[in-house]
Amino acid sequence: MGDLSAAFALALDLVLSGDPALWEVVALSLRVSLTATALACLFGIPIGAALAVGRFPGRGAVLVLVNACMGLPPVVVGLLVYLHLSRAGPLGFLGLLYTPTAMIAAQCILIAPIVIALSRQVLEDLHAEYDAQFRSLGLGRAAVVWALIVDGRHALATVALAGFGRAVAEVGAVMIVGGNIDHLTRVMTTAIALETSRGELALALALGVVLMALALGVNAAAQGARLAGARHAAV
Amino acid sequence: MTARGWMAAIVLLAAPPASAERIVVQSTTSTAHSGLYDHVLPRFERATGIDVAVVAVGTGQAIRNARNCDGDVLIVHAEAEEEAFVAAGYGIERHDLMANDFVLIGPAADPAGVAGLPIADAMTRIAEARAVFVSRGDDSGTHRAERRLWARAGVDAAAASGAWYRESGSGMGATLNVAVGMDGYALTDRATWATFANRGDHAIVVQGDPSLFNQYGIVAVSPQVCPDGNADDAATFVEWMLGLDGQAAIGSYVVEGQVLFHPNGQADAMPMRSRPTR
Amino acid sequence: MRPSEGAIPLLQARALRLERGAAVPVNGVDLTLPGGGVTALMGPNGAGKSMLLHLLHGLIPPTDGHVLWRGRPLDRLGRRAQAMVFQSPVLLRRSVAANVDFALRSRGVRDAGLRDGLLERVGLAGLGRRPARALSGGEAQRLALARALAVAPDLLLLDEATGRLDPASVAMIEAVLIAERAQGTTILMVTHDVAQARRLADSIVVMDAGRIVGDGPARRFLDAGPRAVPPPETGMRRR
């Protein structure tokens, strides 16, 4: 397909030419989505671990709710965050609408259910394996949660990557709360949407290729870190 | 890095930047996507040191966002709604800023045979031929203009929604992509069409009809309603856009040999500066 | 060695019963460990030995009856004075040293010297930085023993801990157990190996079909040779 090869050529050209506008957008994409992922993990993994270990009334309902929220449409999350951050909204006084912070908040909310639900699953399996040993040691709840997180770190890294993948690929939420403002809140996905609506399909596709390369790079870096970690532990 | 170091780094990354003075302009996709602001705004920013952030959405959405005080200035093209916005106290005053015209685009084969007709006849003919027409369907300025044209032609196009009348519910560019893909007709502003790259074999089939006139207005959001806005800089921006420099900047934006937006701001109708009490 | 008659026993089980569906793996067990020495819990497969060990350690709640630790109902604090080595060791996905550190830290101890000493006792000196999951079966079980000793237990429970290990590992573990016994640790071990019981045990408890069918000094059972441990079909009357 001619369009596709043209897009790849254009993508290569964009990257090699070191177009500062491209790097600005790439850097903001990385900053927003990586920060959102880090925040979602900071809160989501302990919550997921608590759900994996804890037994309380209504736990089943909470799990169903969290699992359902994995399918939250980005546009809906964007709207919810917009309604809160709008000057007319309850958090309007913060003046965060149309800033990267608002985009980070939206993506964080978007992927938190994914991080919670997947880490709950991963850590529950691990907990089933460790439970007798941990109770034999007489560990408290917090010590169990922390040990599960430490020992589940490789699986949790994959969970984080899943969250990052969803964050960096979504357009609906950042479009609404970021506004796709040039030099301020324009990220890869909103730039792709913009070029598509300009009819610049090859350029849009080229940006898509760059975005995929970006996701590939982050995943490769994570894999590399994991291998290095494994080698370190093996020494 | 320690756990505390990581936390600090994350918080730092998530924190909003200590921002320079900026204003938010709620505007239409047609003005933003055609590249007008990329041409005009750097001159304003150089002249005043004020940063301008443009949020490009449909006119209806732009007005709703401005009502929520999420913009300092409104640049849209739906005069009646702009006046209503001002009348309701959200805006200080509405001014004509610039104008261009809508054009009807269609496939080269022109299945409804409308090329060169007056716009009302052309739309009647499209309805009779049940030729595919792709509408914005998103309450934008262009969508409102299109509905006015259908009404004037005496056609109830909405009744044919889903048949030959297709509402894309998206922005101008996305709608043009659909029209090209479906071999359909569509109404668009001239600027978006002139800068649209995915035209396929589509071309302008109707243009120049007086009722295709497309007026853009500019309104500063009222600091009485939105005290947290940047009213001072917004007033500076509106003054500049309506003044000689702004109007010259708009008129000098040329794509493929044609001026996309004709400045028609009235220099004698300078906005009243409305300062919030400090 | 034995405490006087009036002293409170280390561990007592009273009318302990465990139901699992229709099965009753533990069916009315009374057992007293006064403290000190090695007790071997023996009996055929399915006799309920492992379940009894889990009950005594408080890992599963009994359907009926109760366990007393130093005369009081067994709780988490009581369990923290015990340690258990499982049939298949569950090691953390960390280094060998970190596995021992983990157990030490569960008791608020950070002491690399103590940890290295424990690893040396079980023959794992120098393997501290290896991933625990990469150890052989015998090494893994020795690490599990080191981890159990790290909490300095008053009672050490072993659930067929040497059942499937290489002879060198079995010998090493037995040497550690003898040393522990000498230091006053009470040991209760499930084993199928009569020779091992003869080497280690001071007393024997025999289970069959969820009940204790015999107990007494090891000498009495074992001097008569392996046949003294009854096959399941004959059973053995409680004294």
pLDDT tens digits along C34-67: 999 999 999 999 999 999 999 999 999 999 999 9
Measured between alpha carbons, how far is C103 from C151 in angstroms, rounded to an integer?
Answer: 6
Q: Is this structure's pTM higher than 0.95?
A: no
CB contact, 8 Å: A196 with chain B? yes
CB within 8 Å: B68 and A93: no
* CA end-to-end distance (rounded Å), chain A: 49
pLDDT digits (tens, 9 = 90+) for B230-272: 999 999 999 999 999 999 999 999 998 899 999 998 755 554 4
**pLDDT greater than 50 at residue C223:** yes
Per the domain annotation, does A8 fall within a domain?
no
Nearest to A152 by CA among A176, A128, A135: A128
Measured between alpha carbons, how far is B41 from B62 in angstroms, rounded to an integer?
Answer: 19
Per the domain annotation, does A15 fall within a domain?
no
CB within 8 Å: A138 and C94: no
User: Is the CB of residue C52 less than 8 Å from the CB of residue C41?
Assistant: yes
pLDDT digits (tens, 9 = 90+) for B57-115: 989 999 999 999 999 999 999 999 999 999 999 999 999 999 999 999 999 999 999 99
CATH number at A209 reads 1.10.3720.10
Nearest to A19 by CA among A219, A221, A207: A207
Per the domain annotation, does A9 fall within a domain?
no
pLDDT at site B20 = 55
Measured between alpha carbons, how far is A189 from A211 in angstroms, rounded to an integer?
Answer: 8
CB within 8 Å: A233 and C131: yes
Nearest to B96 by CA among B211, B187, B217: B217
Which chains lie within 8 Å of chain B at 3 or more CB pairs, if any? A
In a mutational test of the B interface, the residue from A101, A182, A195, A198 whose CB has the highest number of chain B CBs within 10 Å is: A198
Measured between alpha carbons, how far is C97 from C147 in angstroms, rounded to an integer?
Answer: 10
* Beta carbons within 8 Å of A153's beta carbon, 6+ residues apart: none
User: Measured between CA atoms, how close is C76 to chain A, in angstroms?
Assistant: 6
Measured between alpha carbons, how far is B195 from A9 in angstroms, rounded to an integer?
Answer: 22
Helices marked H in chain C: 49-56, 76-80, 96-105, 112-121, 137-150, 167-182, 194-200, 218-222
Nearest to C109 by CA among C68, C64, C147: C147
Mean pLDDT of the region A126-144: 94
Mean pLDDT (chain A, rounded): 91
Per the domain annotation, does A17 fall within a domain?
no
Q: In B167-204, which positions are buried (b, 16+ CB within 10 angstroms) versus exposed (e)?
A: bbebbbbbbbbbbbeebbbbbbbbbbbbbbebeeebeb
Per the domain annotation, does A157 fall within a domain?
yes
User: Measured between CA atoms, how close is A66 to chain B, in angstroms?
Assistant: 24
User: Is the CB of residue B20 less than 8 Å from the CB of residue B51?
Assistant: yes
Question: Amino acid identity, residue C236?
Answer: M
Give the model's confidence band at C236: pLDDT under 50 very low, under 70 low, under 90 confident, else very high: very low
* Beta carbons within 8 Å of A193's beta carbon, 6+ residues apart: A171, A175, A180, A204
pLDDT at site B17 = 59
Q: Looking up tokens 């009235």, which residue turns up?
A: B266
Mean pLDDT of the region A34-53: 96
pLDDT at site A139 = 94
Radius of gyration of chain B (CA): 21
Q: Looking up tokens 């959200």, which residue turns up?
A: B90
User: Is the CB of residue B23 less than 8 Å from the CB of residue B72?
Assistant: yes
Number of domains in chain A: 1
User: Is the CB of residue B125 less than 8 Å from the CB of residue B222?
Assistant: no
Alpha carbon separation from B223 to A131, B71, B239, C98, C187 (Å, rounded): 62, 11, 16, 63, 82
- Provide the domain limits for residue A30: 22-230
Structure-token pair, residue A89: 């909204």
Give the model's confidence band at A230: pLDDT under 50 very low, under 70 low, under 90 confident, else very high: low
Mean pLDDT (chain B, rounded): 90
Measured between alpha carbons, how far is B220 from B229 in angstroms, rounded to an integer?
Answer: 10
User: Measured between CA atoms, how close is A140 to chain C, in angstroms?
Assistant: 9
Give the model's confidence band at A21: pLDDT under 50 very low, under 70 low, under 90 confident, else very high: confident
**pLDDT greater than 90 at residue C238:** no
Give the model's confidence band at B19: pLDDT under 50 very low, under 70 low, under 90 confident, else very high: low
Measured between alpha carbons, how far is B204 from B188 in angstroms, rounded to an integer?
Answer: 10
Which chains lie within 8 Å of chain C at 3 or more CB pairs, if any? A
Per the domain annotation, does A118 fall within a domain?
yes
Per the domain annotation, does A86 fall within a domain?
yes
- Can you give the three-state secondary structure of C20-48, one letter per residue? ECCEEEEEEEEEEECCCCEEEEECCCCCC
* Beta carbons within 8 Å of C148's beta carbon, 6+ residues apart: C83, C84, C85, C103, C156
Measured between CA atoms, the residue of chain C closest to residue A142 is C106
Per the domain annotation, does A110 fall within a domain?
yes
Quote the distance between the C-alpha of residue A58 and its chain's center. Answer: 27
Chain C contact set for A136 (CB, 8 A) = 57, 59, 79, 82-84, 86
**pLDDT greater than 60 at residue B11:** yes
Domains, in order of start, for chain B: 3-100+213-269 (3.40.190.10), 101-212 (3.40.190.10)
- For a pLDDT cut of 70, what percent of chain A falls above it? 96
**pLDDT greater than 50 at residue C1:** no
